[in-house]
Structures are given as structure tokens and as C-alpha cells.
Structure 1
Amino acid sequence: MPLSAVEVAVRALGVHAPHLRQEDVTLLGSGVDNTAFRCGDVVVRVASGRSTRQEAQLLAVLGSRVSIPVPAPLFTDEGLGVLAYPLLPGRALLGRTPPAGAARQLGAFLTELHSVDASMLASLVEEEPADPREWLEDLTGPEQLLARVRASVPAPGDRHVLAHADLGAEHLLEDGGALTGVLDWSDAAITDPAVDFARLYRDFGPRFLREVLDAYGLQPPDAAAMARIEFFARCAALEDLAFARASGRREYAAAVGTSTGWLFPGARLD
């Protein structure tokens, strides 16, 4: 019988951090690909079908190159699919208002991230074409929203950078009025930078996005890039809605309900 996620976490701790065996292992959160547990001041993240070794190597490269902290790996177990790192301070921003200055922080962070020489990381992350037509595959949701997405498919972009590729509110930590961490780099890819802006737009709205873009020191998005940002944001919202309905995670459904106002003006969630 396969081990449960918590059993995997406990087994990994027993092998790699036996000094923590007396600490309680408690659930921090779960998503489509990962389940995270806390043991003392250590986070143990159990992944499904992802290379934790490659992610740890990526994090080791990024730690000194970006201005918002990322997890600093303590150990990985490729066989168990486990990545462990010291707990970062703060709470996730899902369902919360970002602090003042967060948009500028993220604009600077994305300038740094997107400036990393992607060629030196080709062995650690995949290249994703981010073809908008492919994002329509298996996309589900209310028909009126799907119809809008299908009617607004932009052309693919031609600029690719190292991107987080899942830069949503659930992966951003805040403490004391500042962003204190960017979590879960398992989807990182060399891809269209619009993918990183899209989830910020989805979760925090058009004004926040404008502030991020104002602080972004690389190529300002043109009309075509803005069309891709909106398209990817709409797709990501529908993906979150499907996840919320499948998992019962009401906080995701509530967040999508809020973002519908700017992503699908005049529409209502059924």
C-alpha cells in the first residue's frame, strides 16, 4: 500500500533529520502537486512526480540572486519526493490584501529573476513554449467564461526567461508589512514572462499589476504581451476554480469569485 504524504514526511525526517523525530509533524497546506508539513522550524514538502533534487539546485542558485527570500534546502530525498527547508516567516497572501509596497517588491524581484541567465539552468528546468492554444486543452469552467477565453487566444510570445511560473498569492508570504518568501518552485520553467505577471494580475487586480510593471526594469510589456497576461490570468483563474470545486478548498473559490470582476467583467460564477 502506498505511503500517505505524512508517512513519507515522517520517513524522510527519520532518515535525514533524526534529531527532529520528537517534534510533531503538522499539515501546513496542500495543492495539486505538493503537500507541506511543519516539524519544529522545518518545512517538509512532499511532491508528486517532480524532481526535488533539481528544484533544490535551482533554489541554491537563486538564493543570492533575488531580493525576496526563497527556501534554502536542508535536504532532499529524490526517491521519496521530499524537499525540506527552514521555515520562512509569514503567512500566505491567498485571500488577503497585499501590503503596501508589495507590488514594487515583486517588480524588482521579477526583474532579478528574469535577468538570470537561463542557459545555465537548462539542466534544471524545462523550456515551456507557453503556447496559448495549449492552455485551452482540458480547461474547464462555466461556459460563459470559457467562451470568453476561447474568443481571446493571443499569439505566442517570442521572449523566454527563467520564470517561477506559478507566482500566485498562495506562494507569497507576508510578515510585518513586507513580502518574506516566494515558495514552491516546482513549476519553474524557461518560458514567457507573461506567465509570472498573469497570476499576480489574477490574484491582486489591474492596479497592482500596473505597479508591478512600473517597477519591472526589463522590457515593458507591449499590447501583445498584455493580451497574453490577461489570457493566462483567465486560464489560471479557471484552473483554480476547478481545483476549488474538486478539493473543497473554498478559499480558492472565493479568490476566483473576487478576480472575476476584473478578469471577466459583467460575468457571474454559476
Structure 2
Amino acid sequence: MARVEEIEVLVAHSERATPRVGDVFLKIDTDQSRTDVEVEAMAMAPLPTPEVLWRKPPVLALAAVPGTALGHLGRPSTASPAAWAAAGAAVRMLHDAPLPPWPGRSPDEIASDLDAECSWLVGNGVLPADLVTRNREVAEAALRPWTPVFTHGDLQTNHVFVDGDEITGVIDWSEAARGDALHDLAILTLGYEQHLGDVIAGYGTDVDLDVIRAWWSLRSLVAVRWLVGHGFDPSSPGCEFDVLRSRM
């Protein structure tokens, strides 16, 4: 009898679901504009991306990329320093590519969201007011004008795949847009400050470390409500709450 592939549900919440069947990922999204961005961004990106097998809204079928994730927030990364440097080099290649035709979010839009999330965190007693205030002050450094580049927009370590010291694929492009280069570098190293030097070495140019740290605080502050509402735990060791506490 032929082996029957099992279904593995990787993501499942009210907005999106991603089951995996063998080497095929079925991304189901209620917002087809995100899928439009993902497909176009993957076609434009100068990096290895998943092959689009077929698309029939609301489902996008993608082939698995080889390798293993660079890391998973809250767990130590087993990837080598050279793999982290290769990730930095890949990010630089993306940032040097032609801009996508659609815009990203402005500093003013991001600041408005940040203020709203900080008010929610304090008003609902989710985090101490002094912790939120301190990180809001740190985050201010990110809210400056920047020269837009082609950014991935959600470059978490579990979206970057490696085999040994080589990048084999970058997944989940639905937030790609024109944006701040240092945002991508910050999201890649969120919770992995010890690997920041390797990433910057691969990136190949000096960066403003204060802005990187600002994006760490900003990302962690604005993500909490969404994470809690979708069944994730930002208080897990090494995750968003620990990132915020490290700035005190």
C-alpha cells in the first residue's frame, strides 16, 4: 500500500492557515491582497524563494524549500556564524535590488500604531508602565526618515532557511514592501543579539546599532496584542517580553 502523507498544520488562526502535505504548503488567506504581494515579491526577489505550484483563491500552493530554519525565537540557533553571515549577505542583496512598485508604511503610520499598542499594554496591565515607557523611548530612534529599499518586512529567523553555511530559501513574503533596511536586519536578529555581529559582517556595511535596538523594542511592543490574540505566548523565555526587559 502506498504511503499516505499526513497533514501538518503549521499556522491556524482567524486570518490565515497553512497546512503542509508532504512537500507542499497550502497557504489559505482571507486577504488576497497579501497573497498578491507575496507572489509578486517572490518573483522580483533576487533570493531563492518557494516555487509557486498553483493558486486558486483563497489558496496558494507552494513547494517546500530545502534546508532548515536559521532559528526559532525563544530557542538557541544551531546555525553556524557563517550561516548567519550568509543571511546578512542575502539581506544586502535584497536591499540592493530594484524597489517593488507598491509603497510601505511611513514613520508616522508606524508611530501611530506604536502609541496605540503602548496604551493598550499599560491600560490592560499586560506589562508594567515603566517597561513600556522605557522601550517606547528606545523605539523613537527607529521613527526617522529613511531611504526606502526592497524589504522582506517580516524576516524572522524561521523564514530564512539554510543548508550548512548557504541560504537555501526565504519564505513568507506577504509583508514585502519599500521600507527601512535596518528593520529587516532587526527582525532577523530579534532575540539573537549574539549573532548581530555575524549578520552585519555579511551585510557588508556599517549600520546604526541604536536603530537596530530601537526596532527590537518597537517590534516587540506592537506585536504583543496580535500574538496574544492569535494563541502565541510573548512571555515565553527568549521571546518579546524578554527582549523588552533587556532594554531596562
Q: Same fold (TM over 0.5)?
A: yes
Give 1:105-144 correspondences, 5 Å limit.
105-118=86-99, 121-122=100-101, 125-131=102-108, 133-139=111-117, 140=121, 141-142=126-127, 143-144=129-130
Distance of aligned partners of 1:98 and 1:164 in 2 relative to their CA distance in 1, 3 Å threshold: farther
How far, CA to CA, are the matches of 1:31 and 1:180 in structure 2? Answer: 28
Q: Give the number of aligned pairs.
A: 229
Where structure 2 has 5 or more consecutive residues not aligned to the other structure, the ranges are: none
Give, as a single letter, the amino acid of the residue that structure 2 aligns with 1:151: E
Q: 2:221 aligns with which of 238, 243, 257?
A: 238
How far, CA to CA, are the matches of 1:213 and 1:266 in structure 2? Answer: 21
Identity of paired residues, percent? 25
Aligned partners of 1:198 and 1:229 also within 8 Å: yes
Spell out, residue by residue over 1:7-62, the C-alpha distance to the aligned partner (whole angstroms, 9 max, x if none).
xxxxxxxxxxxxxxx85543123478532111232111112324223421221222
Aligned partners of 2:104 and 2:179 also within 8 Å: yes
Aligned partner of 2:49 in structure 1 is 70
How far, CA to CA, are the matches of 2:196 and 2:169 in structure 1? Answer: 19
How far, CA to CA, are the matches of 1:129 and 1:266 in structure 2? Answer: 25
SS at match of 2:215: helix
SS at match of 1:99: coil
Distance of aligned partners of 1:157 and 1:253 in 2 relative to their CA distance in 1, 3 Å threshold: farther
How far, CA to CA, are the matches of 1:56 and 1:266 in structure 2? Answer: 37
Where structure 1 has 5 or more consecutive residues not aligned to the other structure, the ranges are: 1-21
- Using structure 2 for the length normalisation, give the TM-score: 0.78
Spell out, residue by residue over 1:133-163, the C-alpha distance to the aligned partner (whole angstroms, 9 max, x if none).
2341332351232111222312413211010
Aligned partners of 2:87 and 2:160 also within 8 Å: no
Higher relative contact order (CA 8 A, sep 6+): 2
- Using structure 1 for the length normalisation, give the TM-score: 0.73
Distance of aligned partners of 1:145 and 1:176 in 2 relative to their CA distance in 1, 3 Å threshold: same
Aligned partner of 1:191 in structure 2 is 179
Moved runs in structure 1, 4+ residues, more than 4 A? 30-33, 174-179
CA RMSD of aligned residues (A): 2.8
